[in-house]
Structure 1
Amino acid sequence: MILTVTPNPALDLTYRLAVVRPHAGNRVRNVRQQAGGKGVNVARVLTALGEAAVVTGLAGGPSGQALRADLAAAGLRDELVEVAGETRRTVAVADDQDTTVFLEPGPEVTTAEWRRFLVHYHRLLGGASAVVLSGSLPPGLPTDAYRTLIDLARSHGVPAVLDAEGQALLRALPARPAVVKPNAHELAAATGTEDPVRGVERLRAAGAAAVVASLGPDGLLAATPEGGWRARPPEPLPGNPTGAGDSAVAALALGLVRAAPWPERLRQAVALSAATVLAPQAGHYDADAYHRLLDLVLVERSDRPQPAQPQGEP
């Protein structure tokens, strides 16, 4: 099974409107609520693809109870650790043109709660073929929390896929995650360059075995042990991009477990990400579009070769 870790999960609310009018009252057409957070979305997609997935992280309060109830209703295995604080909520406001997301910070996690989670995580690693570490860190966790989780995974021979940003990302790189998946904004912020090719090179030189950057409608850019790759969808698809990156992570984790060639991993990641844009909520995708797009995604070598060994932080 693939273990997904979401230290700061959320109860996701999605408001859909025909048009969002700034500085005015907006009547919501419909409201959806579901368990969310990057790792939870990854687990949903993996399950839909037929891969066993386990959800762990930290959750508490009434929002945490609602989150866990939704996991149970979706048939997702819940291995969350209870904390005293209240699980955060996120609100996505989506109209026919765009989506705006509001993110609460999450509960304050105590040192004792973090230690209890590490014991639980250590036990779960015994049955994992890969671990996905996703999203923000709640207040109270050390900035090197992901480095600790990657080191523990390595002690069990379990490769890690990391989807994080800022210091949580940079502090984790010396632990040598198998795959790092930033988006374009996260990549630029972490590396200090607007050039995504240089950015992925710098993250790989800092310790990641492979770096796959999601560039929105332009697809994926990858620096891997087999060289550099670009993968693009056949055309931009209108819809809700929330969760598209999580679907790409699910495909990359599955490709890692199955030891698929990098072009195939990237092809599946782009097709799945694009099909997610067509779905109403994160963690879901349009299955027909996914299978149709698989044969249409363009994968080609990137212009520059990628560095092969870590040299220090960017």
Structure 2
Amino acid sequence: MILTVTLNAALDVTWHVDRLTPRSSHRVDAAHERAGGKGVNVARVLASLGHTPIATGLTGGPTGRLIREGLHAAGIRDEFTDVAGDSRRTLAVVSRDDGDATVFNGRGPRIAEAEWEAFRRHYATLLPEARVVVLSGSVPPGLPGNAYAQLIHAAAKAGAATVLDTSGPALTAALKAGPDVVKPNADEITAATGRHDLRAAAAALRARGARAVVASAGPEGLYALTPEGGWRAKPPERLSGNPTGAGDACVAALAAGLAAGSSWTRMLREAVALSAAAVPCPAAGDVDAGVYERFRREVPVEALPAISDQQIT
């Protein structure tokens, strides 16, 4: 079983406009509202692939109830812990003319220490069922800086592999716990390491504790640095649409591959195909089955040369 953790669950709202122009009015052509947060999106993608994920994390208030209703409607097992504050909302405005998305993320409710401890106890009861734990998204106010590190340590103790998809201080603080896979995008890995070369940045994260790093570069594909070697996987063509769910689809593919014991080349091919299949869909958490089946047969994966110590330091 794959367990997804969303500490800062959200009600995701997506608006589609013809063109996003600053300081002007816009008419929304289509709107979508659904349970979200990165881990919830990962669980939704996994369910579409035939897996039976468990979704856990923190939710509260009227928005939290809508999130949990959305999970039930999607047939995803809900193991969220209630908190007093109201869960956040996010807004993604997708421009049809160029496919770019502008995203507004709420900070989330402040979590009390007792609420965090209650969640940790509940999380521990779920770990014996899990082969892989996905830890995704931002950390709400009030949680300790090493919140993800605590959850990674607990998962490792229970024998579960971990996939971490977060950014900023939450990412850097979690590296010492040794997550099995870290999946930043290009901006996130540059911010964490100060390096623009993705291979060098990935090596820097591995040197700080990550066992494997898969860095996403949007339409340029994935760069992976693992104990077995380094690879680059690139989509065979560029698709237009809504890119906001591509990263979560990529994480879903990595988690599924780890659970199945797949090779890295196969995992990366699946990850590129599944993330590309999310782009034509109007809302994060969905994938286009036709694109996925076509791309997974066509994605090239090339081995990368070894990286020198001088490139890391």
Percentage of matched positions with identical amino acids: 54
Q: 2:209 aligns with which of 207, 210, 218?
A: 207
- The CA distance in 2 between the partners of 1:66 and 1:219, in whole Å, is 34
For residues 238-265 of structure 1, give each alpha carbon's deviation from its aligned partner in whole angstroms, at most 9, with x where no partner exists. Answer: 1110010110000001111111010000
User: Does residue 2 of structure 2 align to residue 6 of structure 1?
Assistant: no
Please give the TM-score of this superposition, normalised by the length of structure 2. 0.96
Secondary structure in structure 1 of the residue aligned to 2:62: helix
- Tell me by how many angstroms 1:86 deviates: 0.8
Contact (CA 8 Å) 2:199, 2:307: kept in 1 or not?
A: no
- The CA distance in 1 between the partners of 2:36 and 2:200, in whole Å, is 32
Q: 2:108 aligns with which of 106, 109, 118?
A: 106
Instruction: Give the structure 2 partner of residue 32 of structure 1.
Output: 32
User: Does residue 252 of structure 2 align to residue 250 of structure 1?
Assistant: yes
- The CA distance in 2 between the partners of 1:111 and 1:270, in whole Å, is 39
Paired residue type of 1:148: Q
Alignment of 1:135-284 (within 5 A): 135-284=137-286
RMSD of equivalent CA atoms: 1.4
- The CA distance in 2 between the partners of 1:306 and 1:147, in whole Å, is 29
Contact (CA 8 Å) 2:131, 2:161: kept in 1 or not?
A: yes
- Tell me by how many angstroms 1:306 deviates: 8.0
Contact (CA 8 Å) 1:224, 1:306: kept in 2 or not?
A: no
Q: Are residues 262 and 196 of structure 1, via their aligned partners in 2, closer, same or farther at CA, if it must alter by over 3 Å?
A: same
Secondary structure in structure 1 of the residue aligned to 2:11: strand
- The CA distance in 2 between the partners of 1:168 and 1:140, in whole Å, is 13
Paired residue type of 2:75: G
User: Does residue 133 of structure 2 align to residue 131 of structure 1?
Assistant: yes
Contact (CA 8 Å) 1:2, 1:130: kept in 2 or not?
A: yes
User: Does residue 98 of structure 2 align to residue 85 of structure 1?
Assistant: no
Contact (CA 8 Å) 2:116, 2:143: kept in 1 or not?
A: yes
Contact (CA 8 Å) 2:111, 2:142: kept in 1 or not?
A: yes
- The CA distance in 1 between the partners of 2:21 and 2:186, in whole Å, is 28
- The CA distance in 2 between the partners of 1:124 and 1:35, in whole Å, is 21
- The CA distance in 2 between the partners of 1:208 and 1:163, in whole Å, is 12
Instruction: Give the structure 2 partner of residue 310 of structure 1.
Output: none
Contact (CA 8 Å) 1:227, 1:305: kept in 2 or not?
A: no
Instruction: Give the structure 2 partner of residue 18 of structure 1.
Output: 18
- The CA distance in 1 between the partners of 2:56 and 2:216, in whole Å, is 25
- The CA distance in 1 between the partners of 2:308 and 2:166, in whole Å, is 22
Structure 1 runs of 4+ off > 4 angstroms?
none
Paired residue type of 2:32: R
